[in-house]
């Protein structure tokens, strides 16, 4: 019989594990967080609720902080825990250690709107470069005394993106395979569509009682989870289809395709940040379609393959 889910003022409690909802999750720099309530407290992705985590930090019980990946919305409150041991997957370590590395992982254009936005956010949130005391690999277990927490390497969103399997609780935390209506986000140089799809398939095959992602205030039971996961996964195929449909009227370059609203609607592209994301994700689809021989590229223009 599944362990009951209890509501808390901050989110949801399953056993001794509290999932803290980001009430302002529509903003880019906030995400859900996790607190494992043991004698030596473990915090995952401190970001969701400043006043709550300030209180947790004041108790001086947090021994370990884990960041599931390098994105700022998963570590915006790391600075509250200066004496904790920090952990992350080994592949995302460089981008956490150094802001310059973060920018290299994010965008090849040092003058892009995305890079300018990141610089502004780093400054306003006072995000600090920090030490990583331990790196993780898939199938490792976190240093939790009472609860077995297995690390699942789920790359695609970032190279070192991880989920967490709370084995006895039968809970799977899938981080930024976030099931949002917008669909998957992979607008970093370091993101990879095929890895993302492989990671989605991997979590589909894991049977637990509850599934939780890093965005949205919801604990999913299996039937609803699979429904949301199917819709989330379908976004990849739909984006490919929109590209192929647009190329039926003739060859187009990256910018021309972006204006048609492949990922974000054309009406949203007045936002420089969304435009940058559109171009980065669209380029990944185009490269993949070329590799699949569904389209060809010549003189920076893409057209349907004749074969």
Structural domain that includes position 122: 6-220
CA dihedral 173, 183, 24, 210 (to 10 degrees): -30
User: Is the residue at 85 inside a domain?
Assistant: yes
- Three-state DSSP class for residue 3: coil
Give the pLDDT score at 115.
Answer: 94
Give the pLDDT score at 143.
Answer: 85
DSSP, res 220: B
- Count of domains for the chain: 2
Residues 183 and 256 in one domain: no
| pLDDT at residue 1 greater than cutoff 90 | no
Residue 228's Cβ-side half-sphere holds a number of Cα atoms within 13 Å equal to 21
- Give pLDDT tens digits for 92-141: 999 999 999 999 999 989 999 999 999 988 887 777 777 899 999 999 99
User: Is the residue at 233 inside a domain?
Assistant: no
Distance separating alpha carbons of residues 86 and 288, to the nearest angstrom = 35
Residues 131 and 17 in one domain: yes
- Give pLDDT tens digits for 245-264: 999 999 999 999 999 989 99
Q: What is the mean pLDDT of the chain?
A: 93
DSSP, res 58: H
**Kind and range of the H or E run holding 219:** none
Give the pLDDT score at 27.
Answer: 45
- Measured in whole angstroms, how far is the alpha carbon of residue 39 from the centre of its chain? 29
Residues 17 and 88 in one domain: yes
Percent of the chain having pLDDT more than 90? 83
Give the pLDDT score at 190.
Answer: 97
Distance separating alpha carbons of residues 122 and 136, to the nearest angstrom = 25
**What average pLDDT does this structure show over 174-190?**
95
The DSSP string of 188-208 is STT--HHHHHHHHHHHHT---
Q: How confident is the model at residue 17 (pLDDT cuts 50, 70, 90)?
A: very high
Give the CA distances from residue 294 to residues 73, 244, 247, 279, in Å, rounded to whole numbers and listed in that order.
36, 8, 11, 19
| pLDDT at residue 10 greater than cutoff 90 | yes
Give the pLDDT score at 163.
Answer: 98
Cβ atoms of 81 and 127 within 8 Å: the answer is no
Give the pLDDT score at 306.
Answer: 85
Residues 242 and 215 in one domain: no
CATH number at residue 278: 1.10.10
β-strands 17-20, 11-14: how paired?
A: antiparallel
Q: How confident is the model at residue 29 (pLDDT cuts 50, 70, 90)?
A: low
Distance separating alpha carbons of residues 67 and 125, to the nearest angstrom = 17
CATH number at residue 26: 3.60.15.10
Give the pLDDT score at 126.
Answer: 73
Per the DSSP assignment, residues forming a β-bridge with 296 are 303
Read off φ and ψ for residue 260, nearest 5 degrees: -85, -10
Give me the long-range contacts of 300-304 (CB less than 8 A, separation at least 24): 300/253, 300/254, 301/251, 301/252, 301/253, 302/243, 302/247, 302/251, 302/252, 302/253, 302/254, 302/257, 303/247, 303/250, 303/251, 303/252, 304/244, 304/247, 304/248
Residues 192 and 57 in one domain: yes
- Give pLDDT tens digits for 60-81: 999 999 999 999 999 989 999 9
Between 144 and 5, residue with greater pLDDT: 5
Q: Provide CB contacts within 8 A for 123, sequence distance 6+.
A: none
- Give pLDDT tens digits for 214-227: 998 899 999 999 99
- Three-state DSSP class for residue 103: helix
Q: How confident is the model at residue 26 (pLDDT cuts 50, 70, 90)?
A: very low
Residues 191 and 47 in one domain: yes
Distance separating alpha carbons of residues 109 and 161, to the nearest angstrom = 23
Give the pLDDT score at 210.
Answer: 98
């Amino acid at each position: 019989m599944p362990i009951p889910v209890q509501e808390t003022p901050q989110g949801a409690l399953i056993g001794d594990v509290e999932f803290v909802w980001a009430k302002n999750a529509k903003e880019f720099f906030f995400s859900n967080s996790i607190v494992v309530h043991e004698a030596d407290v473990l915090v995952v992705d401190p970001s969701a609720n400043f006043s709550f985590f300030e209180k947790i930090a004041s108790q001086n019980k947090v021994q370990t902080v884990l960041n599931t990946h390098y994105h700022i919305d998963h570590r915006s409150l790391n600075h509250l825990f200066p004496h904790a041991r920090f952990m992350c997957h080994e592949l995302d370590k460089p981008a956490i250690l150094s802001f310059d590395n973060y920018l290299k992982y994010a965008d090849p254009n040092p003058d892009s709107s995305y890079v300018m936005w990141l610089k502004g956010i780093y400054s306003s949130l006072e995000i600090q470069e920090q030490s990583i005391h331990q790196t993780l690999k898939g199938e490792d277990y976190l240093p939790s005394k009472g609860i077995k927490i297995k690390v699942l390497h789920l790359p695609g969103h970032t190279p070192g993106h991880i989920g967490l399997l709370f084995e006895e609780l039968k809970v799977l935390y899938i981080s930024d395979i976030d099931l949002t209506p917008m669909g998957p986000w992979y607008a970093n140089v370091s993101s990879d569509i095929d890895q993302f799809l492989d990671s989605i398939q991997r979590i589909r095959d894991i049977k637990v009682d509850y599934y939780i992602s890093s965005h949205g205030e919801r604990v999913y039971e299996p039937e609803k989870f699979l429904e949301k996961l199917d819709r989330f996964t379908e976004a990849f195929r739909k984006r490919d289809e929109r590209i192929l449909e647009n190329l039926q009227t003739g060859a187009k370059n990256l910018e021309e395709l972006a204006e048609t609203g492949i990922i974000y609607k054309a009406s949203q592209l007045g936002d420089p940040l969304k435009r940058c994301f559109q171009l980065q994700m669209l380029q990944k689809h185009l490269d993949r379609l070329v590799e699949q021989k569904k389209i060809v590229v010549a003189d920076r223009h893409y057209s349907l393959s004749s074969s």
